């Protein structure tokens, strides 16, 4: 392409570089514009690889006819004739859809000039592979859909890697260099792997024995063949939770008592500063009253939590199944709740 034509194309694109945009956010539009400007600058400087990358990123973020035309220009200068041809056609189609007749004409003309230079690659697949479940055909890592099998497809000049895979079959791969002459690759019928060639699969780990699978014990209660003490006592967990709740309850009651005393103390101080409450001429009096109220709220909350924990813990301890005692002493944690106080005591029996 002559410098004059490149300048003319650039002038036309600069008039409106990003038309036919999608629903991109303002931040995405700013990012796409920055990438577009940088890609255009690199393209003019002849740095083709980074220029094409920036323009592709801009097009992905916020599609535009102008970006497509510059990207196709970059592909053509890089020798990627098939990519340039397809991108020019895409730009022409998008321009026609948005009523940009001049850009549609440019895209179509550039694609038409490239078409005689295209090289095509045909990948044929033997019929035996069609019926294989999971059969996949790839070209340069990209999946080739079935309608394209056996069709001459324009490709960029250079080396092409053809791969065919299927579960349980020997994979096929072939590299072919396509330059000025069309190329053809035929994928033969894949060879089924033998059992020894297939990757070994580890058997699932055995399930742990269940109670129904365990042999029934015929020993008498006095038989020393099995030690009942080895099995965890079913009441241990319940007792542990009950004791924990009891400790929490005691701490709650203690905390409530502390804040209750503090509330009484602050209230007495407030009365000293404001003997004629609610009228008070001392500025410190209302502050003491507020501190007393806060302490009272904390006291009531702590008593509520502590009392609830004590009752719940005591219930768990009282209802826990008893186990055989090794000694004659039985200690129990018993909550005590009344109208004016909440507490706990330990009782024992022999």
Decide if 125 contacts 187 (C-beta within 8 A).
yes
Decide if 345 contacts 334 (C-beta within 8 A).
yes
Q: Which residues contact 90 (CB under 8 A, 6 or more apart)?
A: 68, 107
Q: Which architecture does CATH list for 119-187?
A: Sandwich (2.60)
Same fold, 3-116 and 119-187: no
Alpha carbons 12 and 66: distance in angstroms, whole number: 9
Q: How many helices (H) and strands (E) does the chain have?
A: 9, 9
pLDDT in 10s for each residue of the chain, 350 residues: 444 444 344 434 444 444 444 478 899 999 999 999 999 999 999 999 999 999 999 999 999 999 999 999 999 999 999 999 999 999 999 999 999 999 999 999 999 999 999 999 999 999 999 999 999 999 999 999 999 999 999 999 999 999 999 999 999 999 999 988 899 999 999 999 987 666 656 666 766 655 444 444 444 444 444 454 455 555 678 788 878 888 987 888 888 788 888 878 877 877 777 776 666 666 666 776 777 788 788 888 888 887 888 788 778 777 777 654 444 445 454 555 443 444 555 454 44
Alpha carbons 244 and 317: distance in angstroms, whole number: 10
Alpha carbons 223 and 219: distance in angstroms, whole number: 6
Distances (CA, A) of 28 to 23, 24, 57, 349: 10, 6, 11, 78
Q: Which architecture does CATH list for 3-116?
A: Alpha Horseshoe (1.25)
Quick one: tokens of 289? 């009253």
* Domain range annotation of the chain: 3-116, 119-187, 233-349
Decide if 143 contacts 137 (C-beta within 8 A).
yes
Give the closest residue to 51 by CA, choosing from 66, 65, 31, 72: 72
């Amino acid at each position: 392409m002559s410098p004059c034509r490149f300048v003319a194309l650039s002038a036309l694109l600069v008039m409106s570089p990003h038309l036919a945009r999608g629903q991109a956010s303002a931040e995405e539009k700013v990012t796409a514009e920055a990438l577009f400007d940088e890609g255009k600058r690199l393209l003019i400087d002849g740095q083709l690889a980074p220029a094409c990358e920036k323009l592709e990123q801009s097009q992905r973020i916020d599609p535009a006819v102008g970006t497509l035309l510059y990207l196709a220009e970059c592909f053509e200068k890089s020798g990627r004739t098939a990519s340039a041809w397809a991108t020019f056609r895409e730009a022409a189609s998008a321009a026609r859809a948005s009523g940009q007749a001049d850009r549609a004409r440019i895209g179509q003309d550039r694609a038409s000039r490239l078409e005689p230079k295209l090289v095509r690659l045909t990948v044929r697949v033997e019929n035996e592979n069609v019926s294989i479940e999971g059969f996949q055909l790839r070209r340069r890592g990209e999946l080739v859909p079935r309608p394209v099998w056996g069709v001459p497809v324009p490709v960029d000049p250079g080396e092409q890697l053809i791969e065919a895979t299927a579960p349980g079959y020997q994979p096929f791969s072939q590299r072919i260099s396509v330059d000025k002459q069309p190329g053809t690759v035929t994928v033969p019928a894949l060879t089924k792997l033998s059992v020894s060639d297939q990757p070994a699969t580890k058997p699932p780990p055995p399930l742990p024995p269940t109670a129904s699978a365990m042999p029934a014990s015929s020993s008498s209660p006095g038989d020393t063949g099995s030690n009942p003490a080895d099995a965890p006592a079913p009441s241990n967990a319940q007792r542990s939770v009950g004791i924990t709740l009891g400790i929490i309850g005691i701490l709650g009651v203690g905390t409530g008592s502390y804040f209750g005393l503090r509330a009484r103390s602050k209230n007495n101080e407030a009365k000293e500063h404001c003997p004629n409450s609610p009228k008070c001429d001392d500025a410190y009096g209302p502050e003491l009253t507020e501190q007393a109220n806060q302490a009272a709220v904390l006291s009531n909350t702590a008593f509520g939590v502590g009392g609830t924990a004590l009752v719940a813990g005591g219930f768990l301890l009282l209802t826990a199944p008893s186990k055989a005692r090794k000694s004659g002493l039985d200690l129990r944690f018993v909550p005590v709740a009344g109208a004016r106080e909440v507490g706990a005591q330990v009782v024992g029996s022999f």
